[in-house]
């Protein structure tokens, strides 16, 4: 409200009562080059806690971490409002001790003065990260070729660490407890040998894999985040719906095809002792939608065959897929690139848990999809109008085209008379205005 | 958040009427200095540039720069629902989907409210430099409109020739030719009828009459129109509004083929 310009017109001010006068307008200060940022930091950290720059284990890019000698290392996640939604933070110093429930208002208002409005509504949240991940870059071989790894004493590893980053050096020097912490975490992913009174460490891929799987297990215990679940689990496990309508005898060739490959897929999938069944004749609840759809299109007495989810998802498959998704996520975001291929290999051959069932199921689905695709191209030729259920992508594309066309037509219709008249104007010899005026830089 | 109140809905009605026959959709760029619009016609030979300064509104409030992409046809339909002397209030959120228009009769007995859906318009903006024109002619808007209308009956294009004798609009068509010559004179009692010619060097340029007739739809906005010419540069036709606001049209000259 404060920025309203009320014009000193007697009549206007009389009517616009809701606007407060802005006589006390102060000139705004220029924006600072280093605006305050908002952090959500863990509670009760020691006063030695600080923000440090360490190499990101996955990418090797220097990144900011929050280090507390008592609570360990935290990584920062930036939470930002979507670009279209314009949001700002209003930061004010705490007025009374009672009003500090809003954490984003900052832990201390010093230096903020009477308040500050940040331009971007970014919020940085510190969440704990296992120290082990930060150690991985020094434990991992420097390049893929170097396969032979030696046992090294803890101090040698620490030397490597401090030579990799200046901040590590400072941290190690300042906090003697850190060394013990590192040693403990290293023990969880390394093979150790005792040489005299010293313990030597070497990265063990098996141990690392077990550790990652444990973390992945924990990650999917409460369900994956929705977007992840949607993208990697739900869509991956979608079984194409085979829905072919028999209209006349000429089409029988087509309608026969789906049943045959379904049998095929049954053979390939049923090897493990699971409840994979192919359903040739049963109609489950899932296809009620499809059958109504076909019913709507077929007015005449046509016989229809609905061969339904050709494949049923075994109960343990979603969990396995979730686990693997979580594992892949951990691998991509926290594990150095050099370690990834060997860990993937190891995971494939691991027996606890075994992913063979999942792989088989996925390949069966892929096969079904390919068949559905092939089938569709045939049925597309027969009747363009009928679009199969799983054809959503193509359907959307077509709809988009249609919509565009309609829009253009509509636009033409709504064109005013003047514009139509101008189209007839003879513009020969007239240059476009962009030949005279330069294009202005685009405003955000 | 944008909130802008116009004492007279008529102003926006006339502005939109004047440009809706030149462009279909355009962005109304709102910032704290006012509401601006720049758009080119379909063939990109004419450009309209409007500026309604914040002083033209009372009150005016705009917290963030907002581009309101509006179909002018739709806007015309809604503005038709307003009487000329209604007050008009434009409102929009910071990242709006709609623009809200409220019309109030002067006694505030009747309040009508409309929302227009906005569209995303990808428009290129041209930077128009300040130009010192060789000739500037200020004349009654109605006179300019009459000349354009009369001459457009004969021909597609008009040549505007400005010398120290005065300004001459002439055309040649299939049925014959015609010309109108004006001399500068100042009418003391009726300043809106005076003709002023400010000339640094003589110019002669040819323009499409269809476009000029189209520009003249803005004649109701202002009693006087200003024509600015320089050779090899687009013609500027300016209708001044209150509070330094303006509606300007630019038109590329016809070069070559004729004469």
Q: Which of A317, A323, A348, A307 is nearest to A237 (CA)?
A: A317
Tell me: pLDDT of A361 over 60.
yes
Q: Which residues contact A41 (CB under 8 A, 6 or more apart)?
A: A49, A66, A74, A107, A126
How many other CB atoms sit within 10 Å of the CB of residue B113?
12
Sheet of A152-153: strand order equals: A152-153, A198-203, A190-195
Lowest mean pLDDT of A109-123, A344-358, B126-140, B158-172, name the range. A109-123
Asked if B45's CB is within 8 angstroms of A431's CB, the reply is yes
The per-residue pLDDT of chain A, averaged, comes to: 70
Tell me: pLDDT of A12 over 50.
no
How far, CA to CA in Å, does A23 sit from each of A19, B58, B248?
A: 12, 16, 34
Contact in structure between A13 and A37 (CB atoms under 8 Å): no
Lowest mean pLDDT of A60-69, A108-117, A313-322, B237-246, name the range. A108-117
Lowest mean pLDDT of A83-87, A125-129, B6-10, name the range. A83-87
Indicate the length of chain A as a whole number: 444
Average pLDDT over residues A120-128: 84
The SS3 assignment for A136 reads helix
The string of DSSP letters for A349-383 reads H--SS--HHHHHHHHHHHHHHHHHHHHHHHHHHH-
Q: Nearest 10 degrees: CA dihedral of A205, A211, A213, A217?
A: 180
Q: Which of A36, A6, A39, A42 is nearest to A21 (CA)?
A: A6
Question: Which pLDDT belongs to residue A298?
Answer: 37
CA-CA distance, B221 to A220, in Å (whole number)?
A: 67
The SS3 assignment for B39 reads strand
CA-CA distance, A225 to A289, in Å (whole number)?
A: 28
**How far, rounded to the nearest angstrom, does the alpha carbon of residue A331 sit from its chain's CA centroid?**
14
Per CB-CB distance under 8 Å, the chain A contacts of B128 are: 437
Confirm or reject contact between A4 and chain B (CB < 8 A).
Answer: yes
Q: Are strands B135-140 and B2-6 parallel, antiparallel or unpaired?
A: unpaired
Residue A433 has its nearest CB partner, among B42, B250, B254, at B250
Return the structure tokens found at A329.
């996520």
Per CB-CB distance under 8 Å, the chain A contacts of B210 are: 421-422, 424-426
Return the structure tokens found at A185.
């975490």
Asked if A425's CB is within 8 angstroms of B211's CB, the reply is yes
Residue A418 has its nearest CB partner, among B32, B128, B214, at B214
Asked if B61's CB is within 8 angstroms of A419's CB, the reply is no
Helices (H), chain B: 9-19, 72-79, 141-152, 209-215
Residue A123's region, left for phi above 0, alpha for psi from -120 to 50, else beta, is beta
CA-CA distance, B236 to B254, in Å (whole number)?
A: 14
Average pLDDT over residues A230-257: 59
B 190-229 → A contacts, CB under 8 A? 206, 208, 210-211, 214, 217
**Tokens 């789906």 -> residue:** A258
Question: Which pLDDT belongs to residue A293?
Answer: 39
CA-CA distance, A313 to A233, in Å (whole number)?
A: 12
Confirm or reject contact between B53 and chain A (CB < 8 A).
Answer: no
Residue A187: its H or E element: helix A176-189
Q: Are strands B25-31 and B66-71 parallel, antiparallel or unpaired?
A: antiparallel
Confirm or reject contact between A404 and chain B (CB < 8 A).
Answer: no
Question: Which pLDDT belongs to residue B85?
Answer: 86
Exposed e or buried b per residue across B227-240, where buried means at least 16 C-beta atoms within 10 angstroms of its C-beta: bbbbeebbbbbbbb
Question: Which pLDDT belongs to residue A303?
Answer: 42
**How far, rounded to the nearest angstrom, does the alpha carbon of residue A210 sit from its chain's CA centroid?**
24
Asked if A419's CB is within 8 angstroms of B234's CB, the reply is no
Indicate the length of chain B as a whole number: 259
Return the structure tokens found at A163.
């030579």
Return the structure tokens found at B164.
């120290």
**Tokens 């002083």 -> residue:** B55
A 15-74 → B contacts, CB under 8 A? 16, 19
Question: Which pLDDT belongs to residue A236?
Answer: 80
Residue A31: pLDDT band by 50, 70, 90 thresholds? low
DSSP state of B185: B
Per CB-CB distance under 8 Å, the chain B contacts of A436 are: 233-234, 252
Highest averaged pLDDT of the listed ranges A69-83, A228-242, A374-388, B237-251: B237-251
Task: Find residue B113's DSSP bridge partners.
Answer: B102
Asked if B60's CB is within 8 angstroms of A433's CB, the reply is no
Residue A271: pLDDT band by 50, 70, 90 thresholds? very low
Q: Which of A407, A406, A372, A381 is nearest to A265 (CA)?
A: A372
**Tokens 């489950």 -> residue:** A284
Strand blocks (E) in A69-185? 72-79, 89-91, 116-118, 123-129, 152-153
Residue A313's region, left for phi above 0, alpha for psi from -120 to 50, else beta, is beta
Chain A to chain B, count of Cβ pairs less than 8 Å apart? 145
Contact in structure between A19 and A1 (CB atoms under 8 Å): yes
Question: Which pLDDT belongs to residue B148?
Answer: 94
Rounded to 10°, the helix A356-382/A259-269 angle is 170
CA-CA distance, B48 to B38, in Å (whole number)?
A: 6
Backbone angles phi, psi at A308, to 5 degrees: -100, -175
Tell me: pLDDT of A14 over 60.
no
Find the residue in B nearest to A18 (Cα): B59
What does the pLDDT look like over A368-401, one tens digit per residue? Answer: 888 888 877 766 665 555 545 556 778 888 888 9
Average pLDDT over residues A63-78: 85
Q: Which residues contact B5 (CB under 8 A, 6 or more apart)?
A: A12, A16, B57, B58, B59, B60, B87, B88, B89, B90
Q: Which of A47, A164, A148 is nearest to A107 (CA)?
A: A47
Asked if A428's CB is within 8 angstroms of B125's CB, the reply is no
Asked if B24's CB is within 8 angstroms of A430's CB, the reply is no
Return the structure tokens found at A393.
């992508």
Backbone angles phi, psi at A97, to 5 degrees: -65, -20
The SS3 assignment for A200 reads strand
Task: Provide the sign of the torsion angle of the four alpha carbons A185, A186, A191, A195, taken in this order.
Answer: negative
pLDDT (tens digit, 0 to 9) for every residue of chain B, 259 residues total?
899 999 889 999 999 999 999 998 999 999 999 999 999 998 899 999 999 999 999 889 998 899 999 999 999 999 999 988 899 999 999 888 999 999 999 887 899 999 999 998 887 888 888 889 999 999 999 999 999 999 999 999 999 999 988 999 999 999 999 999 999 888 888 888 899 999 999 999 999 999 999 999 999 999 999 999 999 899 999 999 988 899 999 999 998 754 4
What does the pLDDT look like over A276-301, one tens digit per residue? Answer: 343 333 333 344 343 333 333 333 34
Return the structure tokens found at B185.
């004179």
**Tokens 């004349």 -> residue:** B139
State the nearest Cα–Cα gap between A89 and chain B, in angstroms.
15
Residue A205: pLDDT band by 50, 70, 90 thresholds? confident
Residue B207's region, left for phi above 0, alpha for psi from -120 to 50, else beta, is beta
Give the predicted TM-score (pTM) of the model: 0.48
Q: Which residues contact B97 (CB under 8 A, 6 or more apart)?
A: B117, B118
Question: Which pLDDT belongs to residue A30?
Answer: 67
Q: How many H helices and E strands in chain A?
A: 15, 13
Map out the domains of chain B with their CATH numbers: 2-117 (3.10.150.10), 135-251 (3.70.10.10)
Half-sphere exposure of A359 (CA within 13 A, CB side): 7
Exposed e or buried b per residue across A122-134, where buried means at least 16 C-beta atoms within 10 angstroms of its C-beta: ebbbbeebbbbbb
DSSP state of A125: E
The SS3 assignment for A407 reads helix
Contact in structure between A256 and A307 (CB atoms under 8 Å): no
């Amino acid at each position: 409200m404060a920025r309203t310009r009320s014009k000193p017109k007697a009549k206007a001010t009389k009517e616009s009562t809701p606007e407060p006068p802005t006589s006390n307008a102060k000139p705004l200060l220029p924006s600072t080059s280093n605006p305050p940022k908002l952090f959500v930091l863990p509670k009760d950290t020691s006063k030695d806690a600080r923000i440090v720059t360490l190499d990101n284990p996955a990418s090797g890019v220097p990144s900011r971490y929050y280090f507390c000698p008592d609570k360990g290392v935290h990584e920062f996640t930036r939470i930002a409002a979507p670009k279209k939604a314009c949001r700002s933070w209003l930061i004010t110093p705490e007025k009374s001790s009672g009003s500090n429930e809003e954490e984003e208002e900052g832990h201390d208002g010093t230096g903020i003065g009477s308040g500050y409005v940040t331009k971007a509504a970014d919020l940085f949240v510190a969440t704990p990260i296992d120290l082990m991940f930060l150690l991985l870059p020094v434990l991992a071989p420097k390049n893929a070729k170097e396969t032979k790894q030696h046992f090294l004493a803890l101090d040698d590893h620490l030397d490597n660490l401090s030579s990799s980053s200046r901040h590590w050096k400072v941290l190690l020097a300042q906090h003697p407890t850190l060394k013990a912490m590192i040693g403990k975490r290293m023990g969880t992913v390394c093979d150790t040998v005792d040489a005299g009174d010293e313990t030597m460490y070497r990265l063990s891929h098996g141990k690392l894999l077990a550790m990652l799987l444990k973390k992945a297990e924990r990650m999917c215990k409460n369900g994956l985040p929705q977007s992840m679940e949607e993208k990697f689990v739900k869509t991956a496990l979608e079984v194409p719906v085979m829905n072919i309508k028999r209209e006349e005898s000429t089409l029988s060739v087509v309608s026969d095809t789906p049943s045959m490959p379904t049998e095929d897929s049954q053979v390939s999938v049923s090897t493990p002792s699971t409840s994979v069944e192919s359903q040739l004749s049963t109609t489950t609840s899932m296809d009620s939608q499809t059958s109504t759809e076909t019913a709507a299109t077929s007015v005449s007495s046509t016989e229809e065959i609905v061969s339904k989810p050709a494949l049923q998802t075994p109960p343990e498959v979603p969990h396995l897929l979730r686990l693997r998704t979580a594992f892949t996520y951990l691998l991509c975001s926290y594990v150095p690139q050099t370690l990834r291929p060997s860990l993937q290999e190891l995971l494939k051959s691991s027996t606890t848990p075994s992913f063979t069932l999942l792989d088989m199921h996925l390949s069966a689905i892929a096969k079904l999809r390919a068949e559905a695709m092939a089938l569709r191209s045939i049925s597309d030729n027969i009747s363009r109008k009928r679009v199969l259920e799983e054809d959503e992508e193509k359907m959307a594309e077509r709809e988009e085209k249609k919509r565009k066309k309609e829009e253009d037509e509509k636009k033409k219709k709504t064109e005013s008379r003047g514009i139509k008249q101008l189209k007839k104007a003879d513009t020969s010899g007239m240059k476009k205005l962009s030949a005279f005026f330069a294009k202005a830089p685009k405003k955000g | 958040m944008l909130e802008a109140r116009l004492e007279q809905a008529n102003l926006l009605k006339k502005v939109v009427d004047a440009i809706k026959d030149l462009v279909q959709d355009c962005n109304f760029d709102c910032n704290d200095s006012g509401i601006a619009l720049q758009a080119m016609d379909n063939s990109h030979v004419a450009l309209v540039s409007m500026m309604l300064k914040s002083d033209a509104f009372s009150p005016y409030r705009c917290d963030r720069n907002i581009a309101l992409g509006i179909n002018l046809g739709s806007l015309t339909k809604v503005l038709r629902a307003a009487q000329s002397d209604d007050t008009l209030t434009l409102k929009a959120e910071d990242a709006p989907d709609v623009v809200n228009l409220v019309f109030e009769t002067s006694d505030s007995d009747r309040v009508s409210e409309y929302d227009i859906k906005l569209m995303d318009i990808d428009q290129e903006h041209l930077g128009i430099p300040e130009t010192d024109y060789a000739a500037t002619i200020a004349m009654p808007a109605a006179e300019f409109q009459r000349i354009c209308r009369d001459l457009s009956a004969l021909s597609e294009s008009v040549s505007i020739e400005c010398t120290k004798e005065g300004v001459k609009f002439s055309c040649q068509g299939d049925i014959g030719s015609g010309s109108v010559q004006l001399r500068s004179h100042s009418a003391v009692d009726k300043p809106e009828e005076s003709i002023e010619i400010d000339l640094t060097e003589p110019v002669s340029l040819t323009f499409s009459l269809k476009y000029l007739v189209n520009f003249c739809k803005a004649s109701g906005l202002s009693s006087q129109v200003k024509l600015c010419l320089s050779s090899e540069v687009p013609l500027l036709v300016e209708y001044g509004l209150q509070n330094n606001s303006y509606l300007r049209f630019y038109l590329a000259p016809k070069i070559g083929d004729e004469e």
